Amino acid sequence: MGATDGILGGREVEEGKSASNRRRWMKRREKWLVVLGVVLHAVYMLSIFDIYFKSPIVHGMDLVHPRFSAPAKRLVLLVADGLRADKFFEPDSEGQFRAPFLRSVIKGQGRWGVSHARPPTESRPGHVAIIAGFYEDPSAVTKGWKANPVEFDSVFNRSRHTFAFGSPDIVPIFCSALPHSSWSTYPHEFEDFATDASFLDQWSFDQFQNVLNRSNDDPKLKQLLLQDNLVIFLHLLGCDSNGHAHRPYSSIYLNNVKVVDRIAESVYNLMEGYFKDNRTTYIFTADHGMSDKGSHGDGHPANTDTPLVAWGAGVKHPKQFSSSIHSDDGFRFVDEHVHNMPTPTEWGLSGIERVDVNQADIAPLMSTFLGLPCPVNSVGNLPLGYIKLSEEEEVEAELANTKQVLNQFLRKSQLKQSNSLYFKPFKPLEFYSSVLDQIENLISGKEYEAATKLSQNLRSLSLEGLHYFQTYDWLMLMTVVTLGYIGWMVYIVLHVLQSYTIFPENIYMKKNQALHLRNNSSKVYVFGCLFMGIFCILLLLEHSPPLYHAYTAMTVFLWTQIFSEHRFLKALWRNFCGSRKNNLMKLLGTCAVSVFILEFLVNSFTERKLYTWCFLLVGVVAAFYLFYSIPRRSWIPIFVWIACWFLSSFTLMPAEIPDNTELVIASGAMIILIGVAMRWFDSSTKGNKYWLCILNCDEQKPRFPMLFHLQALLVGLSSAMVSLTTSHRTQKQELLALHQLTNWSIAAFSMVLPLFSTTGLLSRLTSIYLGFAPPFLLLSIGYEAVFYGALALVLMAWILFESALLYLSKLKASSLKSVEDKVILEHDERCLQLSDVRVPLIFMVLFNVAFFGTGNFASIASFEISSVYRFITVFSPFLMAALLVFKLFIPFMLVICVFSAITKLIRVPRLGCYFLVILFSDVMTIHFFFLVQNTGSWMEIGNTISHFGIVSAQVVFVLLLFALTNIYTKDIQIRSPQSSSRKAV
């Protein structure tokens, strides 16, 4: 082993024809390796939808008709969108309750409680839970709000006819494809956050009132209304819109609570006056609550706790409740609240029994009132505390609910068993039929209490069985995909070791060894194809989806490739076992530090402020290291310290970038000053042997002496155009064609100029920095313009740090009287050493900082549309989106340009470093793969998918940026190595 880095560096490879052939073969392999990486990441990215986002809905179950007469002929469902339970039940500042009519119902006519919603607490999943009885199909997160990814059953489907009025975003979900429905919605233009939205609630009531009035002159409508199994649904959006616009503590929102109470009273009076038969049931509830900030979606009690009031036909009357002891019996609602929670004293309802439910329980409750079969996809438990039935009818209703859930379990079990070669049943329900017989016998013997308990237990087991089959393939799929990612990473490591290090020298020197390797490899490929064929046949017999075949084939292929290198792996193991202890410690230490940094980056996706602590610490450590290493150049440590600390402040700033045109204009001057400083430093190195040695560059004459001045002028002109176009747009609300043309011209022309700059390292990087500054300034609205300069300072600090390390390594080599050069690959590049791992790691950190430094991709403010108004104001979604993405790309391009320059400076293969970047990205990808959520708020679900997708896409994303930035960096000239260096044959 060599003296420099031991494990990954040191010895020279013997020159010869076999080594040259091996090198060419490795380069050819890299082309398909990149293609393989793109395909693999695209296929595995889709796996999360098979694992986490598979529809829980199945079809083909029989309806379970209840064996008792319906308590009601018709049902009215009133849903006050966005109504919080506490704002509904509590009194106002004057001690008056906001819902006097419904409070009188609670105290004298019906039952009440809190309906617990499950995140995501949004309008669509809330209404699906109320009306269909199940929690929103997770695949809907990929299909948008209005589409039904899988058709589902609902109370409306079972009704004889449904009348529905309300929001265009909710009513069509349930009624657009329902032939026995009459519905109407107001136009989207009515949903104006600048007004009091309570008129929307009144609109819904007026539409229903018009139907009843019209029926007096329409015999067919009159006959329809007089039939049984009728459902009337009024969607009241006012509280939701007013909560978003004015917050739930505002007088407008609180007044809207009074509005929905008056509408409930008006509906009750209208119905009772029209039908006069006391056969109508009324249910008042909400789909979700509203946070203090005017939002909803998460699992906070303000969002999950909604009111539930039921009265009318078949509803029990209030029951006095005097007990003040509330024990935790272990039951948890879907929002994780304990059962039997005490009622807040300020609600004034502590003496009346409260019956809380899960939101999905409302669907079987409504079905029972109407004597209808429960929706076949419902997972709700019938809350008997609301229904006035005889003891025998209660048991029958309970049993019907249980059979409906059990039918879903049996259908899922049947489907899985029919497609599985080795079926693993849900053992607790293997003898369900005997349990059903036992329940029937208990009912026949009038042992109703025992029958009820047994039925409830059977339903609980059925729900557990549904979850069992929902996650039946999880272990297999996650194992296959995880093995695939691990195989890809192992293969990448093998490729880097074989192509860019000195290890192959011991394996491919003798012809008989190479022949033996090929023979063994062919056997491995035969076994690999055999395994792949076996797995594909098994998957075909199980009727598995096509993607299952892709996951398995990709994983088997990767591990076949790995085992085909078994000879190299054995040699690698012998090498490690024969290494000195300190070399192994270096390897383990490097791996530990790498994993720590990558885990840091994983956590930074949810906590940007981590970068602040990172750069505060790095600034101090790097500065002290350089101060003791090169004390004669003390200004370098100070510069590194200041640059890191300056950049650390940006991740403390809000993701919602505030408008600050003056700051953008001032940033233009700062960018020019930084460019002048870099230009001066570049000029000062001429004739200075110390800096020529550190920067490893030759003196050059500029091809266009005035290019720097032209670029600085364009930066200043772009700042002036920022001021001019912003002020003009503010006054005139439009962009002049002349201003628009000027901005486009400045941006386009400035990005071409770096191609004509001097090919020295600092000269070219300074030109690239100034070339992309004008378009970035023109797309900036606030502090992100300052971030551009701060990032450039840190990138300059990285160059100086690497230059200092290179200078120190040369001093160390000369003091040991050893040759400077190690193994030369091509283009004067040396083999990778263990210490070179720091370059892709630093790149990973800076690449992520370039993304998170001015915001968070989960925040809409990071994509503030006003940042494109200096180029276009007429709405053009594709062009505007392209400009926003380009703005995000500019900091990335700076980082990659500096990364490419550094690989040239220290003479390491850039493609080898790229593969290490992909390796590190996939370590993060596996972590994010296990962090994907299919429960919680839409934002939480969407963010976990975004995290996984963004990191998975880096294999393509970084490669494309490398190709793009190579246009600017391929001409960078670095002083050639000393003549003693030997080049690859």
SS (H, E, C) 384-423: HHHECCCHHHHHHHHHHHHHHHHHHHHHHHHHHHHHCCCC
Helix (H, G, I), strand (E, B), or coil: what is residue 522?
A: helix
In this prediction, residue 136 carries a pLDDT of: 74
- C-beta of residue 181 within 8 angstroms of C-beta of residue 164: yes
Is the pLDDT assigned to residue 693 strictly greater than 60?
no
Give 246's pLDDT tier (boundaries 50, 70, 90): confident
> Using an 8 Å Cβ cutoff, are 385 and 355 in contact?
yes
How many Å apart are CA 120 and CA 264, to the nearest integer? Answer: 27
Give the three-class secondary structure for 313: coil
Count CB atoms within 10 A of the CB of residue 709: 11
Closest to 442 measured CA to CA, from 395, 402, 398, 401: 395
CB 377 within 8 A of CB 152: yes
Mean predicted confidence (pLDDT) in 335-345: 80
In the chain, % of residues over pLDDT 70: 84
230-236 vs 161-166, strand pairing mode? parallel
Q: What are the φ and ψ backbone dihedral angles of 175, each rounded to 5 degrees?
A: -115, -15
- pLDDT at residue 326 greater than cutoff 60: no
Which candidate, 146, 181, 198, 188, places its Cα nearest to that of 167? 188
Compute the average pLDDT of residues 947-959.
Answer: 84
User: What pLDDT does residue 163 have?
Assistant: 96
In the block, which residue shows the tokens 């720091």?
A: 838
Residue 981 has pLDDT above 50, yes or no: no
Lowest-confidence segment of 4-13, 184-193, 354-363, 692-701 by average pLDDT? 4-13
pLDDT given at position 875: 57
Local structure of 776: helix, strand or coil: helix
> What pLDDT, on the 0 to 100 scale, is given for residue 11?
40
pLDDT tens sequence across 72-114: 999 999 999 999 999 999 998 888 899 999 999 999 999 999 9
Question: Which residue has better confidence, 419 or 175?
Answer: 175
Instruction: Give the pair of three-digit tokens for residue 324.
Output: 């003040």
Enumerate residues 6+ apart whose C-beta is below 8 A from 219.
none
What's the pLDDT at 881? 75
pLDDT computed for residue 859 by the predictor: 38
Does the pLDDT of residue 372 top 70, yes or no? Answer: yes
55 pLDDT band, cuts 50/70/90, is: confident
Number of helices and strands in the chain (H, E): 33, 8
**pLDDT tens figures, 610-633:** 999 999 999 999 988 888 877 666
Asked if residue 882 has pLDDT above 50, the reply is: yes
What ranges do the domains of the chain cover? 74-389, 397-471, 579-813+823-908
Q: What is the pLDDT of residue 750?
A: 92
635-648 and 610-629 are packed helices; what angle lies between their axes, rounded to 10 degrees?
180
Q: Does pLDDT of 672 surpass 60?
A: yes
Give the torsion through C-alpha atoms of 947, 952, 954, 960, to 10 deg. Answer: -130
Residue with tokens 């410690």: 585
CATH 3.40.720.10, applies to 74-389: yes
Evaluate if residue 423 carries a pLDDT over 50: yes
Averaged pLDDT, 955-977? 80
pLDDT digits (tens, 9 = 90+) for 898-915: 999 999 888 888 888 999
Strand-pair category, 111-116 with 305-312: antiparallel
Flag whether pLDDT at 268 surpasses 50.
yes
Instruction: Select the more confidently predicted residue: 286 or 505.
Output: 286
- Higher pLDDT: 217 or 2? It is 217
Distances (CA, A) of 420 to 358, 406, 413, 543, 724: 34, 21, 10, 8, 69
* Residue range 832-880, pLDDT digits in tens: 888 889 999 999 999 999 888 776 554 333 455 666 777 776 656 677 7
Phi, psi (rounded to 5 degrees) for 659: -65, 130
Cβ proximity of 407 and 376 under 8 Å: yes
Q: Is pLDDT of 9 > 50?
A: no
Query: Is the separation of the CB atoms in 398 and 391 below 8 Å?
Result: no
Q: What is the helix (H) or strand (E) element at residue 981, kind and residue range?
A: none
In the predicted structure, residue 678 carries a pLDDT above the cut 70: yes
* pLDDT tens digits, one per residue of 141-183: 555 444 454 578 899 999 999 999 999 989 998 998 899 999 9
Q: In this model, does residue 816 exceed pLDDT 90?
A: no
Average of pLDDT values for 773-792? 89
What pLDDT was estimated at residue 266?
A: 96
Report the pLDDT value the prediction gives residue 5, as an integer from 0 to 100.
Answer: 42
- Strand ranges (DSSP E) for 295-394? 305-312, 357-358
Distance between first and last Cα of the chain = 23
Give the three-class secondary structure for 929: helix
Looking at per-residue pLDDT, the higher value among 628 and 305 belongs to 305
DSSP state, residue 320 = B
- pLDDT of 21 higher than 60: yes
- The band of 780, judged by pLDDT with boundaries at 50, 70 and 90, is confident
670: confidence class by pLDDT, cuts 50, 70, 90: very high
Q: For the chain, what is the mean pLDDT? A: 83
Tokens 């919680």: give the residue: 936
Confidence at residue 19, expressed as pLDDT on a 0 to 100 scale: 53
C-alpha distances (whole Å) from 622 to each of 630, 634, 806, 848, 901 are 12, 12, 15, 20, 20
CA triple 937-943-949, angle to 5 deg: 140
Question: What digits encode the pLDDT tens for the residues 481-526?
Answer: 999 999 999 999 998 888 888 766 544 444 444 444 444 677 888 8
Instruction: Name the residue with higher pLDDT: 552 or 140.
Output: 552
Per-residue pLDDT at 872? 74
pLDDT for residue 288 is more than 80: yes
Residue 7 scores a pLDDT above 70: no
